Amino acid sequence: MSSIKPVFRPSDYPGEPDEQTRQDLADLFETLMPGVAEPEIDGPHTGMAIAAHSPKFALNLSKLTGCVALSLPWCERRDLMELAIQAVNLHFKCEFSFETRMPYAASTGIGMERLAALPLWRTSALFDDEQRLVIEYANAVVTGDVPEELSQRAVAHFGERGTVEMTAVIGTFSLWAMLINSARPG
């Protein structure tokens, strides 16, 4: 059971929200589901329903996530983005996010076999050198200790901008994993 009850619909918001919170909730749900009369966040997006307890934060987190996942050139390689995200989920033991992202990963060619091999990324023949670099870099970023040599390899391969964008993906989805883990959704 969740320690924080998700706000799937505006009416799920606990207590009597003040006028500003009601407006922020309306803005959040209108942004997420424009024109929908009875908006409802679906189960795979429970993290957003948790963040909705702070609607202004949730709205901005949604914008950040959209920018990171949909607008950055580094993310055009969806398979690399999903490997970075799933490495983050594995590090933070965020099973909920790992499982809900499995269809996205599969759609990029990262199938179940590769996801299952993620803990063995260093030795598994399922990953190429570029994928190993992404996983290694993600694992280092989430620990807060990126060795200079690894940073140089990332910049040499993805460029400075690409490395910054990869780090943005890792940081953004680390926040999601921590938020989801703290609320313990079913």
Residue 144: left if φ>0, alpha if ψ -120 to 50, beta else—which one? Answer: left
Residue pair 110/162 in contact (Cβ under 8 Å)? The answer is no
Specify the pLDDT at position 186: 61
Residue pair 133/157 in contact (Cβ under 8 Å)? The answer is yes
Domain boundaries, the chain: 10-69, 74-183
Average pLDDT for 12-41: 96
Q: What share of the chain has pLDDT > 70, as a percent?
A: 98
Q: Rounded to two decimals, what is the model's pTM?
A: 0.93
Specify the pLDDT at position 95: 94
pLDDT above 90 for 171: yes
Specify the pLDDT at position 66: 95
Q: Which two tokens stand for residue 55?
A: 């609607």
User: pLDDT for 32-85, tens place per residue?
Assistant: 999 999 999 999 999 999 999 999 999 999 999 999 999 999 989 999 999 999
- What residue type is assigned to position 69 of the chain? A
User: pLDDT for 97-154, tens place per residue?
Assistant: 999 999 999 999 999 999 999 999 999 999 999 999 999 999 999 999 999 999 999 9
